[in-house]
Structure 1
Amino acid sequence: MLALQKTVAAPGLQLRHVPPPGAPAPGQVRIQVLATGICGSDLHVDDWTPSYHFIAPRLPVTLGHEFVGRACDGRHAGRRVVVRPSIVCGQCAACTRDDPDACETRTGLGMTRPGAFAPWVLVPERNCVPVPDNLPDALATLAEPLSIAWQALQVAGDVRGQRVLVMGPGTIGQGVAVLARRAGAAQVVISGHDDAPRLQALRALGFDALVDVARQPLADAVRPHTDGQPFDLVVEATGVPASITAALPLLKRRGVLVVTGIHARPLDLDLTTLVRREQQLRGSFRPSEAAWPQVLQLLADEAEALAPMVSHVLPLARGLEGFALAHDKRATKVVLCPSPEDDGTVEAVEDADAADSAR
C-alpha cells in the first residue's frame, strides 16, 4: 500500500509502497483511513526540528495522526471513528489505577507508531471515538487539533467577558478563537506572521480583529483593536518563543498566558517583570480522553460555520504537494485522502526511489 513516511533522521519525507498491516492483535482494530489532516507537528518532523528527534529510533515510520476512518473490527465495526493518537501503556501506576490521563509512558500514532497517511492502520480499540453521522470526513480530521484548543481554554479558565489575544492563526489558533468566542469572550484578537490565507479563513469564520506582525510589532498591530487596553488572556499557538516575549507586556497585571505551541528553541524570559506583575504562565498539551466526544459534537453542531478551516483536500498520492502547500503557508488545513488504488491492488505512483522530499 502507499504510505507517506519519515525514513531518515534528516529533513524530508517519502511516498513509499509498504506492506499493509497484518491482522489486529488483541485489543486492536483495523481502520480503513478516509481522511487525514497535515498537522504542524508533521511539518516539524519533515523539517526535522530538534523537538521531534525522539522519533529517530522508530524510523521509518508512517506519519499522520489527525484522521477519521471506518472501523473494520470490534464494537465500532462499520462505523466512522476518529482515533485519539496518544496511546497509553496500560501498565504504569496511573494506568493500573484506572487513571490513563496521567500515563507517562505513551506512544504516538504517526510518531512512534505507524500512522494514517496510508489506506490502513491498526489502532487500539479503546482509542476509537465514534463520529456523528452529520460530520463530514474532512471536518472530522479537526477533532485532534480542536481538542488541543479545547484544553488550552480549560487551562485558561473562565473567559466570559475577557479580552483575548490568540497568537498563531493555524488550526489550533483558529480553534481557540472559535471556542473563546463561543465561551463568551468580549473580544478575540488573532495575530499571524505573513499568514494571509489563514487570516482570510478567520475572516470567513467571522473574525475581524486580525493582525499581521510581519509588517509591524505586535504592540502596534493590536493597538487599533484595543485602544491600548491590556489583554486578560493570551493563548500562544505559534511555536515561536519570541512571540511570548512580545505578548507579556500586553497582558494585564495578574493576567494569564497559556502556551500550547511546541517550541524548537528555549525562551529567554524576563521573570522579574512577570513576578512583579503577578502574571501567570501556564502550559497546555493534551486534553482528557473524556473531552473527545464533546469536541466531536461541537464540530458536528458547527460544521457549516467551521467549513473554512479546511482549505485543501488532496489524494494521498499528492501528499508531498500537500506538505509544500502547508509549509509555504498557502493553505490553512490540508487533508489527504487515500484512493482505492493506494491499497496496493494496482500501481498508483512511482516507485519509492523516485519519491522525494516535501521541500
Structure 2
Amino acid sequence: MESEDIVYSKAYRLIKPEKFEEVILEHTINHNQVVVQPILASICHADIRYYTGQRRKEALQKKLPMALFHEGIGRVVKSKDESFFKGQRVVIVPNIPARRLKAPLINEKSSSYRRIVKDNYLPDSFFLGSGYDGIGQQHLVLPTENVIPVPENIPDEIAVLAELTSVSLQAANYVSDYFNDGRIAVFGDGPVGYLTAATLHHVFDISKENLLVFGAIDERLAHFDFATTHLVHDFNFREEANVISVIECTGGKFSNNAINQAIDLIEPQGKITLLGVSEEHVLLNTRDILEKGLTVYGSSRSTEDEFKTLMNEFQNKAFQRTLKKLIPNKNEVIRNVQDLEKTMDKAMKSKDWKKTYLSFKWD
C-alpha cells in the first residue's frame, strides 16, 4: 500500500558474498524527485567484485547489505516534476550528491568547499550500488538531475551502455585539449577500453591512424576496427613517436605494467588519464614522470553532463553499430533472487568479452 509521498520497493540485496536476500524498502518521495522502475541493467566488474567478495574486508563490512548495479535504464512510475511523464524511458545517473537528497536544499550548492568540486568527487556524494542501494530494486527515487530521458531512436540495449561510456567520456575530456597536437593511445582491450576508444573515435573524431589501442588478446583487439591496434608483449614503447595523450583502462593486476608502458610511450609534457581500478597499490616510474614533465589525472565515475552529451551522440547510427559489438546475444531475465544468483554465478565465471544484461520482471 502506497501513499502520495511513499513508495515501496522490492529489492535484491547482497547480504554476503554470493548471497542475495529479497527485502522491501520504503522510500520517501520529496520535491523534484522521480520514481523510476528499472527495466534493464548491465553488470559491471565492480558488481562482480562485491558478489565474489574480492573487495577489501572492511569495504564489504561497511557497504553490505546493499542492492547492486549502477548501469541501467528504467521507466518513470511517478514524478513530482512536470517535465517527466509516467512510462517515460530514462537512463539512470548513479552518482547522487548528498545535497540533492536533502529537501528543501536540493538545488543549493554545498558551502563546505571554497572551490568548485565536481559532483563525482565530493566525499559526501552517494553512488548507486556502492554503499547505497543500487538498480537491483523495483523502485528508485531519484533527483530529477539523475534521470535523463532516452530519445526514441536509441534502443534499450544501446542506452544501457551510457553509464560506462560516460566514464570514458569524462576521462577523455581531461586530455581533449591535446587531441589536435598528436596521437592518443588507449591501454586495455576489455569493455572499458573498447568504449573509451569508441568514444574517442565517434565523439571526438579521432581517426584510425591517430588512435592507438594496446591490448593482450588478439581476438579482443580484432573488435577495434576503427583504431590501430598492437599487442603489448611485442611492442617497443620507447620507439613510438608523437603520442601526446594516453588513457589507461586496464585496472587490476595489469595496471602496473600498463601505466609504466604509457610513461615509456608518451612524449614529454604529455597527459595520462588513469581509469582502471586496482585494489592494490601500483608502482610508478616517477623518474620519467618528472623528467618528461608529465601530467597524470585520476578519473572516476561521471556526472549528468556526460549522460546528456551521450544521449545526443548515441543517436549516431555509426556509433550504435560500434556499440552493438558489446551487446550480449540474449538478456538474462530476473524474476527473483534465485534468477539473480544464477546469473551472477555465470557472469563471474564467464570469459565472454560482451556485457551481461539483466532484464528485470517485477510483477
TM over 0.5: yes
Gaps of 5+ in 1: 346-359
Letter of the 1:246 partner, please give it. Q
Paired with 1:284 and 1:23, the residues of 2 have a C-alpha distance of 32
Structure 1 residues 3-51: Cα deviation after superposition (integer angstroms, max 9, x where no partner): 543212xxx3334332265563454432111100111221222233446
Task: Check conservation: 1:4, 1:14, Cα contact below 8 A.
Answer: no
Q: 1:135 to 1:52 in 2, by over 3 A?
A: farther
The range that moved more, 89-98 or 26-35, is: 89-98
Q: 1:292 to 1:88 in 2, by over 3 A?
A: same
Contact residue 165 and residue 235 of structure 1 kept, 8 A = yes
1:189 and 2:194 correspond: no
**Helix, strand or coil for the counterpart of 2:304?**
coil
Give the AA of the match of 1:191.
Answer: F
Which secondary structure state, in structure 2, belongs to the residue aligned with residue 73 of structure 1?
strand
More moved, 312-321 vs 75-84? 312-321
| 1:266-312 alpha-carbon deviations (Å, 9 max, x no partner) | 12112122211222211122334323211121112232442212225
Deviation at 1:258, TM superposition (A): 0.8
CA distance in 1 between counterparts of 2:290 and 2:266 reads 13
Q: 1:230 to 1:51 in 2, by over 3 A?
A: farther
**TM-score normalized with structure 1 length:** 0.80
Relative to structure 1, the CA distance from residue 321 to residue 199 in structure 2 (aligned partners, 3 Å threshold; closer, same or farther) is farther
Structure 2 CA distance for aligned equivalents of residues 51 and 299 of structure 1: 36
Which of 16, 24, 34 is 1:19 aligned to?
24
8 Å contact kept, 1:151–1:284: yes
Residue identity matched to 2:266: L
DSSP 3-state at the match of 1:252:
coil
Amino acid at match of 2:198: V
- Choose from 276, 299, 305 the match for 1:261: 276
For residues 89 and 97 of structure 1, the distance between their equivalents in structure 2, rounded to whole angstroms, comes to 12
Aligned with 1:111: secondary structure?
Answer: coil
1:164 pairs, out of 163, 184, 189, with 184
Q: Given the alignment, which residue of 252, 256, 262 partners 1:247?
A: 262
2:150 aligns to what? 131
The partner residue of 2:247 within 232, 235, 244 is: 235
Match of 2:4 in 1: none
Which of residues 75, 82, 93 in structure 2 aligns to 1:70? 75
Counting matched residue pairs gives 327
1:7 is aligned to: 15
TM-aligned CA distance change 1:14 to 1:174, over 3 Å: same
Stretches of structure 2 lacking an aligned partner (at least 5 in a row): 1-8
Question: 2-side partners of 1:212 and 1:329: how far apart?
Answer: 19
**Are residues 1:112 and 2:135 paired?**
no
Residues 247, 227 of structure 1: alpha-carbon distance in 2 compared, 3 angstrom cutoff: closer
Distance (whole Å) between structure 1 residues aligned to residue 259 and residue 77 of structure 2:
45
Give the Cα–Cα distance (whole angstroms) in 1 for the partners of residues 213 and 61 of structure 2.
Answer: 35
Structure 2 residue 61 is the aligned partner of structure 1 residue 42: no
1:229-288 deviation per Cα after TM superposition (whole angstroms, max 9, x unaligned): 352221111113312122211112222211012221112112122211222211122334
Across the aligned residues of Structure 1 and Structure 2, the Cα RMSD in angstroms comes to 3.0
Provide the C-alpha distance between the structure 2 equivalents of 1:191 and 1:256, rounded to a whole number of angstroms. 17
Q: Which SS does the other structure have where 1:257 is aligned?
A: strand
Deviation (angstroms), 1:126:
3.0
**Take 2:92 and 2:35, find their aligned partners in 1: how far apart are those partners?**
11
Residue from 124, 135, 141 that aligns with 1:122:
141
Please give the per-residue CA displacement for 1:161-193, whole angstroms capped at 9, x wherever unaligned.
Answer: 632221122333222211222324342222334
- Cα distance, 1:2 vs structure 2: 6.9
Amino acid at match of 1:281: V
Give the match's secondary structure for 2:184. Answer: strand
Identity of aligned residues (%): 21
> What's the offset of the Cα at 1:331?
3.3
Match for 1:112: what amino acid? Answer: G
The residue type equivalent to 2:263 in the other structure is: L
User: What TM-score, normalized to structure 2?
Assistant: 0.79
Matched, 1:86 2:95: yes
d(CA) in 1 for partners of 2:193, 2:148: 23
| Residue identity matched to 1:190 | V
Indicate whether 1:315 and 2:333 are aligned: yes
Q: Specify the alignment match of 2:164 in structure 1.
A: 145
Residue 64 of structure 1: how far off its partner (Å): 0.9
- Tell me the equivalent position of 1:357: none
